[in-house]
Amino acid sequence: MATCLFATCRRSAPRSGGCSLLLWMDAQALKALALLVAGWMALPCAPAFGWSNHSVASYRAFEAMPEVAGAAPVRAEPLEAFLKDQERAIETLLARQEVWARATIAAYAPRPDGLAFKAMAGRSDAERRQAFLMALRVSPDSKFALYLQPDPQARLAAATVLPHSAVNALPEQAHSSYRFIAIAAGERVSALAVLASATDEPDYGLDINLWQDSPSPSAKVYGFGPIPFGNPALYFATQAPFHMGFYHQAWLISKAAPFIQRTFPLLRVHQYSGLAALAFQSGHTYWGWRFAGLALHYVQDLTQPYHASLAPGDSTWTMLSANAMAMAGWPRRKEQLIVLLSNRHLALEKYQNQTLLNDARSGQDSAAQLALRSATRDAAYPAWDALYARDVVAREAYAAGAALASAIVAAMPARLVSDPDFDFGVREAEIDLVAEMQRQDPTRIGELDRMLADLLGRFGAHSRNAIRGILKAAARP
Ligand SMILES: [Zn+2]
C-alpha cells in the first residue's frame, strides 16, 4: 500500500505521528528497514492451524445458542447438487464478491477474469465443481466430503468411520485426535454437528499451495502472487497467509514490510458467509450451516493472538535489532527469537486442545467450557459486518498478545517455551503437555488458565455474532 498505512481501515484513525514521520524518512531508510523486516519473515514458520481442532470448541460455543441448537435437522446433500441448482445465483454472488474484495481488502490480489464462475447448464458435475473451486481460488484437491466430526462429549451411535484421507487432503499427524464419520446424501443431521464440524474444515488443505511459487499447477493461474512470508516449499506454511491477519501491527513494521498486509482471511470470511446466506435462502440448509462453519473458521483463527500479531511479546525494537545483528553476521539472536515464538505458539495450541478434549471426555464443565458457552459478552461487541474479523476480532487478539506471551512463559515448563535449543514442533508428538503442566506450581498456571478461558470466551462470542450476522443476511429478501 503506497499511502498512509491505516488509510483503508474504516474504524482505525491513523496513529498519531505515523504518516508525518514517513514523510521525514527517505526512500533509502525505508528500503533498509524493509530488508530488516523481510529477514524476520523469511524464516520457515511452524504449522499455522490457529486453534487445534476448532470443532470441539465450536460444539461448546453453539450448544446453548437457540438459533443453532434449536434448528431443525437438515438433509445432507453433495456440494455438486447445490452448485447445479444455484448455478446462476452463484455466478452473480461471486462476481459481486470480487467487486467487493477489490474495493475493500488491502493489498488484494484481484482474481483473474478467466476464473470467474459462469453458469453452464450442459457441463458435468465434476466440471462445475472444479470451476467453483477455481473461482473461489481454493485448492482443487479440497475434499468437501459428506462427513461429521462428532462431539467428543456425546455418546455416538454406530457410525461408519471415514479414513482421514477421505476428508482431509493433508497427511494425518501422529496421535491425531480427529475422527470423521460418514453421512449419506439425504440423511438428516443436526445443524449443530454440521456447523461445528465445518469450523475445522479450512485446516484440511483448502488453502494449501495457492501461491505462484507453490508446487501446484493451478496456483500458477490463481493470481495471488508469490507467498508473502514463510517457505513455499513447506506445504503447511502456505496456508498461513489465509489464516492470519497482521492488521494492527506497529505502523513502522507494516510500512516497512507491506507484504505482511498480503493476508486474506477477510476474503475467505466474505466468500463463505455470502455462500451460506445464499444456501439458506435457496433451501439448501445443509450447505447454509456448512458454509457458515467454513466462514467462522477464519474468524476463530483471528481470536488467537499468535494469528493476529507478528511476534506477541516482542517489541518492534527487539525484532528490528535482532535482524540488524543477523544482517551484520550474528544471526543467533534472531534464530532464538523465532524458535521461542514458534514454541510458545505451538505449546498454547496443544495445551488448549488437550484441555478441551480432556474436559469433554470427563463430562465435567471446566472454566474454558463455561467461557465458550457463555453468551453474556456477545452484545457488548459491535454488530457483525464484513470487516468485523479485522476491526473487532483481530484488534482484540493483537492487544492480548504481550500479556499472553508472559503468561505462557510463567506457567509452562521452561524447557518447552524458554529454551531456544528445543524445537517444540519436532518433539510435539511425544509431549504430554497437560501432564507436564500438572507438575508445575499451580499458582503459576492459574493466570494462563484464566487467560485461555478469556480467549475462548471471545472465540464463542465472535462465533455466535458471526452466525447472527449470517442468519440476518439470509433473512433479507
Ligand atoms: Zn486455520
Residues constituting the chain: 477
Q: How far is the CA of 21 from the centre of ligand 1 (A)?
A: 36
Exposed (0-12), middle (13-18) or buried (19+): which is 42, by Cβ within 10 Å? exposed
* Chain centroid to CA 384: 17
- Ordered alpha helix ranges (H), 363-432: 367-373, 388, 395-411, 414-417, 424-427
Q: What does the alpha-carbon distance between residue 341 and residue 320 come to, in Å, rounded to a whole number? A: 15
- Are 260 and 229 within 8 A, CB to CB? yes
Q: How far is the CA of 293 from the centre of ligand 1 (A)?
A: 12
Q: How far is the CA of 138 from the centre of ligand 1 (A)?
A: 14
Q: What does the alpha-carbon distance between residue 228 and residue 267 come to, in Å, rounded to a whole number? A: 16
* Tens digit of pLDDT at every position of the chain (477 positions): 222 222 222 223 222 322 233 333 344 444 545 555 555 554 434 455 667 899 999 999 999 999 999 999 999 999 999 999 999 999 999 999 999 999 999 899 999 999 999 999 999 999 999 999 999 999 999 999 999 999 988 877 777 899 999 999 999 887 777 889 999 999 999 999 999 999 999 999 999 999 998 888 888 899 999 999 877 777 788 999 999 999 998 888 877 778 888 999 999 999 999 999 999 999 999 999 999 999 999 999 999 999 999 889 888 788 788 878 888 888 888 888 888 988 999 899 889 988 888 888 888 889 999 999 999 999 999 999 999 999 999 999 999 999 999 999 999 999 999 998 888 888 887 888 888 888 888 888 889 999 999 999 999 999 999 999 999 999 987
343 beta partners: none
- Are 440 and 417 within 8 A, CB to CB? no
Q: How far is the CA of 397 from the centre of ligand 1 (A)?
A: 15
For the whole model, what pTM was predicted? 0.89
Exposed (0-12), middle (13-18) or buried (19+): which is 212, by Cβ within 10 Å? middle
Q: Strand 147-148 vs strand 181-182: parallel, antiparallel, or unpaired?
A: antiparallel
Look at residues 104, 97, 463 and name the one whose alpha carbon lies nearest to residue 301: 463
Q: How far is the CA of 340 from the centre of ligand 1 (A)?
A: 21
Q: How far is the CA of 299 from the centre of ligand 1 (A)?
A: 9
Q: What does the alpha-carbon distance between residue 348 and residue 46 come to, in Å, rounded to a whole number? A: 13
- Are 300 and 356 within 8 A, CB to CB? no
Look at residues 289, 466, 281 and name the one whose alpha carbon lies nearest to residue 385: 466
Q: How many CB atoms lie within 10 A of CB 383?
A: 11
- Are 307 and 390 within 8 A, CB to CB? no
Q: How far is the CA of 18 from the centre of ligand 1 (A)?
A: 31
Q: How far is the CA of 80 from the centre of ligand 1 (A)?
A: 25
Q: How far is the CA of 298 from the centre of ligand 1 (A)?
A: 6
**Those residues with Cβ within 8 angstroms of residue 330's Cβ, 6 or more apart along the chain or in another chain:** none
Q: What does the alpha-carbon distance between residue 380 and residue 406 come to, in Å, rounded to a whole number? A: 27
Q: How far is the CA of 32 from the centre of ligand 1 (A)?
A: 32
